[in-house]
């Protein structure tokens, strides 16, 4: 086993994953994520973005390959240790909002903090601050079913940021939002991550969302692919090329 580079908070080598029904998920993905970096994982539907996030966060165990978090091997951990790691160090945002229906909004947002042992009073204060930042502070005492889908997603983002996780895994976090809302919510998320030194692994197939990241890794059919960005062609050259081909 080769030890990962010191400045990588997450490091994966030659990850292979196959879903239980035999569908290929990942076929040899290697990558490193630096401390406080915002990394976008892009690719078309079914390219393996969600599977990669699940393997990096210890939710799924790769069939082959290695995942390291802060120089500690995750791929050799048992399920209980991986669960504790996810609870104490990682945050997760799903593409669709999932909240506990019996709890009100601030209780939902405070839940990960309380699971980590923070007192109810302190957890409530922190949760309310994050709900305000995500513009849903006025919904704090309401139940999830009373909120619109986009408001519920903002609550999920507040819940993920409130404990200041070391790494936040965000799987299409702005998918349920209107286009006009997306930029604002994403900027709130990335600004909060940068100011708190939170590393973000952001799965998205939206180029505008990926543009908010420090770096992009592209997947296709479970493999990393290199994206070549060509310089824009000047208008006049474009026309010349058109006229030549006629």
Ligand X SMILES: Nc1ncnc2c1ncn2[C@@H]1O[C@H](COP(=O)(O)OP(=O)(O)OP(=O)(O)O)[C@@H](O)[C@H]1O
User: Considering only CA atoms, which of 4, 7, 1 is closest in space to residue 199?
Assistant: 7
Backbone angles phi, psi at 101, to 5 degrees: -65, -30
216 binds ligand X (CB under 6 A): no
* Least distance from ligand X to the Cβ atom of residue 63, Å: 13
Asked if 45 is part of the footprint of ligand X (rule: CB under 6 A), the reply reads yes
CB of 57 to ligand X, least distance (A): 13
Task: CB nearer to ligand X: give 45 or 179.
Answer: 45
Spacing of C-alpha 176 from chain mean position:
15
Pairing state between β 199-203 and 38-42: parallel
Rank residues 10 and 53 by Cβ distance to ligand X and give the closer one. 53
Exposure letters 46-68 (e unless 16+ CB within 10 A, then b): ebbbbbbbbbbbbbbbbeebbbb
Tokens encoding 142: 């309401």
Min dist. Cβ of residue 20 to ligand X (A): 6
- Out of 8, 29, 31, 43, which residue is the one contacting ligand X (CB under 6 A)? 43
89 SS3 class:
helix
Asked if residues 86 and 92 have their Cβ atoms less than 8 Å apart, the reply is yes
Give the separation between CA 48 and CA 171, rounded to whole angstroms.
11
Distance from C-alpha of 69 to C-alpha of 75, rounded to nearest angstrom:
10
CA distance 213 to 201: 9
- Give 60 or 198: the residue with its C-beta nearer to ligand X: 60
Q: Specify the stretch interacting with ligand X by CB under 6 A; choose among 44-52, 74-82, 185-193, 233-241.
A: 44-52
User: Does residue 63 bind ligand X (CB under 6 A)?
Assistant: no
Q: Give the span between the Cα atoms of 110 and 182, in whole angstroms.
A: 24
Query: Can residue 124 be called a binding residue for ligand X (CB under 6 A)?
Result: no
By the rule CB under 6 A, 57 interacts with ligand X: no
Under the criterion CB under 6 A, does residue 91 sit at the interface with ligand X? no
Question: How far is C-alpha 52 from the chain's CA centre?
Answer: 11
Which of 32, 46, 65, 183 lies at the binding interface for ligand X (CB under 6 A)? 46
**Binding status of residue 206 toward ligand X by CB under 6 A:** no
Q: Per CB under 6 A, does 163 bind ligand X?
A: no
Please tell me the count of residues contacting ligand X according to CB under 6 A.
14
Return the number of the residue (23 or 119) whose C-beta is nearest ligand X: 23
* 18-26, 69-77, 112-120, 190-198 -> range binding ligand X (CB under 6 A): 18-26
* Contact criterion met (CB below 8 Å) for 136 and 108: no
If one asks whether residue 25 binds ligand X (CB under 6 A), the answer comes out as yes
Q: Which of 7, 23, 76, 227 binds ligand X (CB under 6 A)?
A: 23
Binding site for ligand X (CB under 6 A): 19, 21, 23, 25, 43, 45-51, 203, 205
């Amino acid at each position: 086993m080769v030890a990962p580079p010191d400045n990588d908070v997450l490091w994966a080598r030659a990850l292979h994953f196959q879903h239980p029904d035999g569908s290929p998920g990942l076929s040899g993905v290697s990558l490193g994520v630096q401390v406080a970096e915002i990394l976008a994982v892009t690719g078309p539907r079914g390219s393996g973005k969600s599977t990669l996030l699940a393997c990096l966060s210890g939710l799924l165990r790769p069939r082959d390959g290695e995942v390291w978090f802060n120089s500690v091997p995750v791929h050799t951990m048992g399920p209980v240790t991986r669960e504790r790691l996810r609870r104490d160090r990682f945050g997760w945002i799903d593409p669709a909002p999932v909240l506990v229906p019996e709890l009100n909004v601030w209780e939902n947002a405070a839940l990960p903090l309380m699971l980590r042992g923070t007192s109810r009073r302190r957890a409530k204060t922190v949760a309310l601050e994050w709900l305000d930042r995500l513009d849903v502070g006025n919904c704090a005492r309401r139940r999830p079913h009373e909120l619109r889908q986009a408001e519920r997603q903002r609550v999920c983002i507040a819940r993920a940021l409130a404990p200041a996780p070391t790494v936040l895994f965000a799987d299409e976090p702005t998918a349920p939002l209107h286009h006009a809302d997306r930029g604002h919510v994403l900027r709130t998320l990335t600004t909060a991550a940068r100011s708190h030194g939170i590393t973000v692994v952001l799965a998205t197939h939206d180029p505008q969302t990926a543009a908010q990241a420090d770096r992009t890794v592209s997947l296709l059919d479970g493999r990393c692919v290199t994206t070549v960005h060509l310089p824009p062609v000047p208008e006049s050259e474009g026309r010349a090329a058109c006229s030549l081909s006629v």
